[in-house]
């Protein structure tokens, strides 16, 4: 097993997080301050729950996290976090009601990734589609000044997606955390200060 995997997997176990992905959000938040105390956060592709646990810690008892994933998460979440097993892009009654109750949101964060095929361009296209869908949902539920984070497999569509955020957010950045695997094509697209909003 490679050293970087050893380090982040072991660190996640020590810190009681179900996956190493938590350190990506931690780095993003340290750099861009996408999350803050008292914020309401929508976490897309939340299972197994590391991002939600970190977000819940940052927003504190006054904040709320709504975590959504197609896959069930058997993680124990704190009182300020609600997990729903659902398709975020075809929300049923339970998710709609939860978004209405908990939202509008100060941040929408997405660590979603497609099931990879091993074909670079197919995987990138599918990742781009998830980003587009996450952005469309974010536009429905974000407050003015809200923040957006989405994982993207870098490829031909990435620049167009980043450019599309520039008309919607005050600041747009791309970022590759140190905790991302070296060979991974993933980057995170960050939009700060949503210009629309509820």
CA dist., res. 35 & res. 179, Å (int) = 19
151 is a catalytic site residue: yes
Close Cβ partners of 9 (under 8 Å, ≥ 6 residues apart) = 20
Scan for tokens 């908990």, then name that residue: 102
Evaluate whether 138 touches 130 at the Cβ level (below 8 Å): no
| Helical (H) or strand (E) element with 66 | strand 64-69
How is residue 50 written in tokens? 């590391």
**Phi, psi (rounded to 5 degrees) for 117:** -105, -15
Q: What's the sign of the alpha-carbon dihedral 98, 104, 106, 111?
A: positive
Contact call for residues 43 and 68 (beta carbons, < 8 A): yes
Per the residue annotation, which of 3, 151, 170, 178 is the catalytic one?
A: 151
C-alpha to C-alpha distance for 68 and 83, rounded to whole angstroms: 6
H-state helical runs in the chain: 3-14, 22-32, 50-59, 93-102, 120-141, 158-166
Residues with active-site annotation: 151
């Amino acid at each position: 097993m490679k050293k970087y995997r050893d380090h982040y997997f072991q660190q996640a176990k020590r810190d009681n997080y179900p996956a190493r992905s938590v350190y990506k959000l931690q780095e993003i938040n340290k750099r861009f301050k996408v999350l803050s105390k008292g914020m309401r956060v929508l976490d897309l592709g939340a299972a197994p729950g590391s991002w939600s646990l970190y977000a819940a810690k940052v927003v504190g008892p006054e904040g709320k996290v709504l975590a959504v994933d197609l896959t069930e998460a058997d993680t124990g979440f704190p009182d300020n976090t609600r997990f729903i097993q659902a398709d975020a892009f075809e929300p049923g009654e339970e998710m709609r009601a939860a978004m209405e109750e908990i939202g509008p949101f100060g941040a929408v964060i997405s660590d979603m990734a497609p099931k990879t095929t091993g074909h670079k361009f197919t995987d990138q296209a599918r990742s781009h589609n998830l980003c587009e869908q996450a952005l469309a949902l974010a536009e429905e539920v974000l407050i003015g000044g809200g923040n957006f984070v989405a994982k993207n497999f870098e490829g031909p569509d990435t620049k167009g997606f980043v450019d599309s955020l520039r008309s919607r957010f005050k600041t747009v950045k791309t970022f590759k955390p140190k905790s991302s695997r070296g060979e991974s094509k993933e980057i995170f697209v960050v939009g700060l200060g949503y210009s629309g909003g509820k």
